[in-house]
Structure formats: structure tokens, C-alpha cells
Amino acid sequence: MERRSLVAGNWKMNGLAASVGFVEDVADLLREAPCDLLICPPATLIARIAGRGLPIGGQDCHAAEAGAHTGDISAEMLRDAGAEAVILGHSERRTDHGETDAQVCAKVEAAWRAGLAVILCVGETEAERDTGIAKEVVGRQLAASLPGGARSDRLTVAYEPVWAIGTGRTPSLGDIGEMHGFIRDQLDRQVGADEAARIRILYGGSVKPANAGEIFALEDVDGGLVGGASLKAGDFSAIARVAG
């Protein structure tokens, strides 16, 4: 099954008005990207960046459509600001804000209701990998945070081992390939073989120009979710170029 790769940049809590030109820089560097691209800036920049040549996503949303939730942003608001997608269940949300699988699941439903595509993040901690339960943890996250009704046009899964995020460390290629194969098998059981074969599974965690090529070449890896390296137009473009 041919799946078009996706390279998504997660800016996290980085970026001020001065970062807006980044999008034109990337669009210039990547006249004909061999893959789909997505930029997920902080919510404050979505409206400024949308419409400048690259698809835009949010980094989180609330499960409710509107209401008394000070400081939160709904999926409808992201969409209204110009976003087409949203990252949900990122480990920094799970850790910093105590997000549970059930909450992530409700957010995915809210995003779909609003017409946003979702990048759903799963991944084990270092202790979980060391004790040999990485697949069990990822399988449990996927089972509990993915609602019914998943389709490849509105769901991408990102495997992001927590210990690889922002650390410069990555799992071995064998371990990445094995986990992606495991996720594909579990999707097969959860959403059926046809959709499971079409859903993209991204790798995330210290992706950079030097390692992107070998990671993206793995069979069930369909691109990457890129944090730190997505903040530099040259690095992000170099990563996207090898995601054919």
C-alpha cells in the first residue's frame, strides 16, 4: 500500500510574530515537496500563518465546543483560525497537564466533529521500554485514546517514545520498525484492514536531517513529527526532502 508521507513540524511553545516568515522560507525551499507538510505553531500564530502556502495545525484542543473553560481553545476555534489539523495526546500534554487516554479520546472526537484531521501521539517512557512493556503501553494508549470511526483522511498516528523527545537519542531502527509494525497490526484490529493500511504512522523524537532518511525508509514509517528541528527552515526542509 502506497501512503504519501507527511512531515509535520511541532513548534511547541516557540514562535512570535517574527516567526511568520518561516512559512514562506520553507515554501520557497520546498517548491515541490515529495511529501505532505504541516506546520503546528502555537495557537497565537495560527491565524497569522494560515494561508501563506503551508497547511497549519494546532497542538491541542478542548473536548467541548465552547463554554466556561478559561484559557482553553476548542477545535472549532482552531478551525476558525485557519487550522486543518491538530496534534492530540502529545506526551508533554499527558505529563504537564495530566491528560488521560479518556480525555485524549474525547478531544479526538471533538476535533473530528469540527472537521480537523488528528495526529494522535502515543509512546512509552524510558522505564517502560527498559522493563520490556513498551508495546503493551503503546497498545493500551491506542486502544483507549482512539475513538471509533477512524479514517485515514482524518487520522495519523505518531509514535513518539517519550525518552527520545528533545534528547538527541532515538531508538534503534529495528525498534522503530518493530513498534510501527505493531501499531499497524493493532490498527488493523481496531479499525479494519483497509483503513489500517492507509493510515499514516509517523515517527517522532529527535528527528533531524542526519537521521531522517534512514528512519523514513523503514516500511511502516510514513514520515515524521518534528519538534526542535522544525524551528529552522533549512533543517525542516532537509527533513521533508528525504520523506519521499
227 interacts with ligand PGA by CB under 6 A: yes
Where in 155-194 is the site for ligand PGA (CB under 6 A)? 160, 165-166
Q: What is the DSSP string of 160-171?
A: --GGGTTTS---
Q: Is 178 a catalytic residue?
A: no
CB atoms within 10 A of CB 149: 12
Q: Smallest distance, Å, CB 194 to ligand PGA? A: 28
Stretch that binds ligand PGA, among 47-55, 107-115, 181-189, 223-231 (CB under 6 A): 223-231
214 is catalytic: no
Shorter beta-carbon distance to ligand PGA: residue 108 or 212: 212
Residue of 78, 225, 233, 239 that binds ligand PGA (CB under 6 A): 225
Give which of 116, 120, 79, 115 is closest to 103, Cα–Cα.
120
Applying the rule CB under 6 A, the residues between 2 and 61 that interact with ligand PGA are: 10
CA distance 79 to 77: 5
Size of site (CB under 6 A) for ligand PGA: 13
3-state helix, strand, coil in the chain (%, to 5): 45, 15, 40
Q: Which is nearer to ligand PGA, 118 or 229 (CB)?
A: 229
Contact call for residues 39 and 82 (beta carbons, < 8 A)? no
Residue 150, CB half-sphere, CA atoms under 13 Å: how many? 30
Q: Which residues lie near ligand PGA (CB under 6 A)? A: 10, 160, 165-166, 204-207, 225-229
The residues annotated with a catalytic role in the active site are 90, 160
